[in-house]
Amino acid sequence: MHVSNIARSNFVGISIVISVLSVMLFLQIDDNVAFGFEENILPLQTGIISTANQDYAISQDFEARIFQNGKIMRLSGITTTGEEYYLYQKTVGDDVVVKGKILVNNEFVPILFKEEYLEQKTETSDAKITMAVKLSSYTYSNYPFVISVKVFDSEINPNARYDSRLGTLDSVSVNVVISDKEGNHISTLSGQTDSTGVFQDKYLVLEDVVDQGEYDVVVTVDNNGSMISESFTTFFRGDIRNYFHNTN
């Protein structure tokens, strides 16, 4: 990873070149100002940009610039078939705005950021904790399946959204179990929430290790005996080149 300073005044810019085929980007910036960049920018997780008409695979190298101490972040690059794109995130108070466009046939087309491309669910229970979960809805071979779990105190924030900061809980145990539809165990991801109430981890999908198809993801959160659990579905796909070989 290469980092260079872009400006030093009222705002700071940082240029980062990343290989998305081998690693997932986790920006090590002040969490209070750079909140949610890697979770909200979906192509960092799936390697895919989606429009209303087509999907595009992003190339291995791209550039991210961070301004105003992390309040504004812009990612730009090209797809594997040569289309230029940019992704933009701005933090305004507790709200996070994410937008993007891709240049197709000399015209900028909006990039879609719909829930159908990234599952999100919030669970409330008598355990007095809530959780919001984001995970890759599909992952190609040699890309990481990514999951982020955010935990809240339900008395403070009973209907919390993932992009909310109110009532987050740190040092909460999170356990994620991935299994196939026959119940065979694939992987377990576990750890604790950080100072922002977030637990993040990833599982590298290898074509010779797991088959293509649908998989179950069970997330369990335990806060000193107060426990909640949720189930999700994801898809593991094959080699990305098989999907985009004939893309124009």
Across the range 32-57, mean pLDDT stands at 63
**DSSP states of 145-157:** EEEEEEEEETTT-
Give me the chain's average pLDDT, please: 75
Per DSSP, 115 falls in state G
User: Which residues sit opposite 55 in a β-bridge?
Assistant: 50
- pTM comes to 0.62
Residue given tokens 């980007």 in the structure block: 25
Q: Beta strand 138-139 with 226-236: parallel, antiparallel or unpaired? A: parallel
Q: Is the pLDDT of residue 240 over 80?
A: no
All structural domains of the chain: 2-113 (no CATH), 117-236 (2.60.40.1930)
What pLDDT score does 36 carry? 47
- Vertex 21, ends 19 and 25: CA angle to 5°? 55
What Cα–Cα distance (Å) separates residue 53 from each residue in 50, 64, 101, 146, 196?
Answer: 8, 26, 13, 25, 36
- Give yes or no for a contact between 13 and 27, defined as CB atoms under 8 angstroms apart: no
Helix (H, G, I), strand (E, B) or coil at 30: coil
What are the tens digits of pLDDT across the range 149-165? 999 999 998 887 887 88
Q: For residue 135, report the phi and psi dihedrals to the nearest 5 degrees.
A: -150, 155
